[in-house]
Amino acid sequence: MAVLVGKKAPSFKAQAVINGNEIVENFSLDQYLGKKYVVFFFYPKDFTFVCPTELHAFQEALAEFEKQDTVVVACSTDTEQSHWGWLQLEKNKGGIKGVTYPIVADTTKTISANYDVLNGEYFYDENNQMQATSELIAYRGLFLIDKQGVVQHQLVNNLPLGRNIGEALRIVEALRFFEEVGEVCPANWSAGKSGMKANHEGVAAYLSAN
């Protein structure tokens, strides 16, 4: 498993569904550089059981993320047509109708591979083309990317384990607290609590770079 924390988030362009019903070409996280924090999360498959609970939970918390100057973007290895179809299906029928944040279609599997969350057996041939010997889907990966495009947090769950969306929001709040106040966040820190002053060279270097 690659550790991307402290590194530039892998760039990509891919088709995506935005606003719940519009398919767009060449969607990229680069559009948020210098403007927004990004919570970029992967989920295994459309039309499944655990996945819609996560997508709806992110939608329910979307206003809180927006208050933190943060956009939420989802991604799976399904096609943009599959995403669109799932978005038209009512929640009580297993659909994700009402989700408005972008959902990226990683049909080439390269985004999941570059973020090192691709589950399955595959290799690259002599022409550097991906060849699979089993179904390829994404683990439940989550990445917090700052306004400079650097990954500040990553979490990867196995397929059966749904994520805590409140914890994702807490991490965003912790990063913003550190950037704005210059204090680090101790164990179990949450918004409204005090931080700790630190003189670590790495902290100083981070602040000077941002």
* pLDDT per position as a tens digit, 19-62: 999 999 999 999 999 999 999 999 999 999 999 999 999 999 99
Distance CA 109, CA 84 (A): 18
pLDDT given for residue 69 in this prediction:
97
pLDDT exceeding 90 applies to what percent of the chain? 74
**What is the architecture of the domain spanning 14-163?**
3-Layer(aba) Sandwich (3.40)
pLDDT tens digits along 64-80: 999 999 999 999 999 99
The tokens of 89 are what? 């299906």
Residues of the chain with pLDDT under 50: 202, 204-205, 207
Query: What is the residue extent of each domain of the chain?
Result: 14-163
The tokens of 183 are what? 């204090």
**Consecutive H or E run containing 123:** strand 122-124
Distances (CA, A) of 101 to 65, 116, 144, 174: 11, 23, 16, 22
Active site residue 185: no
Catalytic residue among 16, 29, 51, 142: 51
The tokens of 163 are what? 């994520």
pLDDT given for residue 183 in this prediction:
75
Q: What is the pTM of this model?
A: 0.88
Q: Which residues of 113-126 are buried (b: 16+ CB within 10 A; e: fewer)?
A: bbbebbbeeeeeee
Distance CA 5, CA 145 (A): 9
